[in-house]
């Protein structure tokens, strides 16, 4: 089976990029797999390129690339959903390149990895391929404008994969497209390349982008309260982002400059997880919770707010971590204190975290779930009556075909004009 993954930018950091590369590499052991990145801004991917998996970019943003001076770069896109937070990056050249690739690819399966790309896949994807959209955010986190576009176009997909069961439920309810398979398959995390934490280090670790939704100020407040009884413990926060100054100010307000540290972004993060004994998450909401699984695979119990959607589906309360009410700093502090003062329980939960995460989120198991989905979709297609088989793309609508032709034709016309001017 030939499987192609379509990403926004495979050369950047982020959970979607990391987990897609892991899935692609795992599937490549049994299938022909390729990665297609809409954008490229550097020589090589920050996470490295999966072994045996080719990678191509459709639009090169590096200064040396002729794409940067292409006339279509200055023209706003026409078909990429404007409700997608990355819509401002999808100029006419990007749209043209995506549609052209979808028309020429011979992939049996195409998997796109963000809502806006899912829409383009549903509208312009080849009808003879299995089309799967992935949702790495959540249905309810999308603005109304984008949700309207999803409901309008997602009927062109064969399946939509969410990261959690809760979000799968929200998509089924919100999309109201009963003929589209909507199911949850979580992200995977590979086995760490370092030995697991032993639970002896008196360090609480948090990691992720320094964004308001992560509520690191709440974590600092909770650590200050818990740490009053455990003065030999410290807090390390890994990541960069717009909230760095606010978090630093909160640390200073509590007088914790010698115990709470802003560590910056570190890749790979596994070597930092194992330097701690407890992982902490204070998010207001999570689409999944990659850092939770990463920490657990490194042998750390996780204390987390029980926020929508991921923590409650990952952490087994009292077994491999503790869940606390989403907005309770006091309960977060008490949960941290519970594990800080009880080394035996901390170590037992750490061992359970490592074993449980390896069992539920191993790349081979997640890849197997995708393979079963794809086999099922292929089987459904083969059982359709001949009369209903997609012999032509007319089911996607004449308007879609017209839009495709118009976008590609305009690019050709402009190229022709430039050639005429050049030869003249």
pLDDT over 90 (residue 382): no
* Mean pLDDT across 12-30: 94
The predicted structure's pLDDT at residue 422: 41
CATH number for the 2-188+364-419 domain, one of 3.40.50.720, 3.40.50.970, 3.40.50.2000, 3.40.50.300? 3.40.50.2000
The predicted structure's pLDDT at residue 384: 62
Every domain of the chain and the residues it spans: 2-188+364-419, 203-360
Q: Which residues contact 16 (CB under 8 A, 6 or more apart)?
A: 7, 8, 113, 114, 134, 136
User: If one looks up domain 203-360 in CATH, what number appears?
Assistant: 3.40.50.2000
pLDDT digits (tens, 9 = 90+) for 83-109: 999 999 999 999 999 999 999 999 999
Query: Average pLDDT of the chain?
Result: 91
Identical fold at 2-188+364-419 and 203-360? yes
CB 116 within 8 A of CB 87: yes
Stated pTM of the model: 0.86
pLDDT over 70 (residue 210): yes
Q: Which residues contact 333 (CB under 8 A, 6 or more apart)?
A: 221, 222, 223, 225, 226
CB 281 within 8 A of CB 10: no
Residue 90's nearest CA partner among 156, 38, 147 is 38
Between 1-15, 25-39, 160-174, 405-419, the lowest mean confidence (pLDDT) is in 405-419
The predicted structure's pLDDT at residue 380: 86
């Amino acid at each position: 089976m030939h499987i192609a993954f379509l990403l926004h930018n495979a050369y950047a950091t982020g959970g979607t990029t990391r987990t897609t590369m892991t899935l692609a590499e795992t599937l490549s052991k049994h299938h022909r797999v390729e990665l297609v990145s809409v954008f490229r801004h550097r020589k090589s991917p920050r996470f490295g390129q999966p072994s045996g998996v080719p990678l191509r970019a459709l639009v090169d943003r590096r200064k040396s690339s002729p794409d940067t001076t292409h006339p279509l770069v200055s023209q706003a896109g026409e078909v990429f959903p404007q409700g997608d937070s990355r819509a401002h990056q999808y100029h006419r050249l990007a749209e043209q390149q995506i549609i052209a690739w979808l028309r020429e690819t011979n992939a049996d399966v195409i998997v796109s990895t963000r809502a806006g790309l899912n829409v383009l896949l549903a509208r312009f994807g080849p009808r003879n391929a299995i089309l799967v959209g992935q949702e790495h955010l959540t249905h309810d986190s999308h603005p109304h404008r984008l949700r309207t576009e999803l409901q309008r176009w997602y009927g062109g997909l064969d399946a939509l994969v969410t990261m959690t069961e809760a979000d799968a439920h929200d998509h089924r309810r919100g999309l109201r497209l009963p003929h589209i398979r909507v199911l949850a398959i979580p992200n995977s995390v590979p086995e760490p390349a370092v030995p697991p934490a032993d639970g002896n280090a008196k360090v609480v670790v948090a990691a992720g982008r320094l964004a308001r939704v992560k509520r690191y100020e709440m974590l600092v407040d909770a650590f200050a309260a818990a740490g009053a009884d455990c003065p030999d413990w410290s807090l390390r926060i890994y990541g960069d982002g717009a909230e760095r100054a606010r978090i630093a100010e909160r640390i200073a307000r509590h007088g914790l400059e010698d115990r709470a540290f802003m560590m910056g972004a570190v890749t790979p993060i596994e070597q930092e997880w194992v330097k701690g004994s407890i992982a902490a998450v204070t998010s207001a909401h999570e689409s999944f919770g990659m850092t939770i699984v990463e920490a657990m695979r490194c042998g750390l119990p996780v204390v987390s707010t029980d926020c929508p959607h991921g923590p409650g589906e990952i952490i087994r309360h009292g077994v491999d971590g503790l869940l606390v009410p989403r907005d309770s700093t006091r309960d977060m502090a008490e949960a941290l204190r519970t594990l800080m003062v009880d080394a035996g329980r901390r170590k037992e939960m750490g061992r359970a975290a490592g074993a449980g995460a390896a069992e539920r989120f191993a790349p081979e198991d997640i890849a197997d779930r995708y393979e079963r989905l794809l086999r099922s979709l292929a089987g459904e297609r083969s059982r359709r009556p001949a009369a209903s088989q997609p012999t032509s793309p007319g089911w996607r609508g004449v308007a879609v075909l017209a839009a495709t032709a118009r976008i590609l034709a305009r690019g050709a016309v402009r190229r022709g004009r430039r050639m005429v001017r050049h030869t003249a």
